[in-house]
Amino acid sequence: MNKKLLGLVVLGLLFISPAINAGGQADFSGKLDDSDLSLNTSIDYSWPVGKFERDIEFDYRYKDEDNLTTTNKGLIAFKQRYEFKPKHYTFGLIRYDYNEFRPITHRRQVNMGWGYKIIRSEKIKMSNEFAVGYLNSEMNVGSNSVNEVLLRNSLWFFYKVAPKLNFTNKFLYEDSNIPLIRNETAFSYLLTDKIKISLKNVYTEDPDNNNFLSFNVGYIF
């Protein structure tokens, strides 16, 4: 795992403090045999601090086939939101993406934006966010980097299909010198109050197309 990414994860976890109404989820999947190793993990956690709400997101994917690494990618993001009206909020976002096998290996960004809660009900939830930020990209550590203005749009959708079955979709578009598109779709089923299983598909275009389907076991906390 990339050392910078691991360091950011540790820093982010240290930044989390127990709080009332805090909660999140973690999903895991993997495979291990004589010649293949794969690991997929994602963590989402939210907690309130006064009038603010903080979110941390972590996603990491690794795959080794016949002692050859074919996938090594991850992201970590920290967001702080302030709701100034029932459906409107402002936010600040820091995010780091790493992918050993894509044209741009490192993407670091800082954003400020506005979000709108389009729908809020027990069965359906939808939010849309717009942001402007600063993006630093580089091919490898130590190589020449590119600094540019970043325009960001994201859409989140949740639908309770049945009492124990949920559908979620997270779409992200980042407009820069090399645009990024990421769409994550998932069906999750609650086995207990704390344990769930899910079928997740992640599509990424940055600029290479990549589609990843996984079956996960998750823990809700």
Residue percentage of the chain with pLDDT more than 70? 86
Task: Give CA–CA dist 149/210, Å, rounded.
Answer: 25
Question: Average of pLDDT values for 29-34?
Answer: 77
Amino acid identity for residue 128 in this structure? N
Fold that domain 3-17+30-220 belongs to in CATH: Porin (2.40.160)
Domain assignments of the chain as residue spans, ordered by start? 3-17+30-220
* 88-135 pLDDT, tens digit each: 999 999 999 998 888 788 999 999 999 999 999 999 999 999 999 999
**Stated pTM of the model:** 0.85
Task: Give CA–CA dist 124/211, Å, rounded.
Answer: 26
Residue located via tokens 């820069």: 176
List the beta bridge partners of residue 112: 92, 132
Residue 105: what pLDDT?
Answer: 87
Q: Is the pLDDT of residue 141 over 70?
A: no
Neighbours of 73 (CB within 10 A): 21
* Structure token pair of residue 79: 């967001």
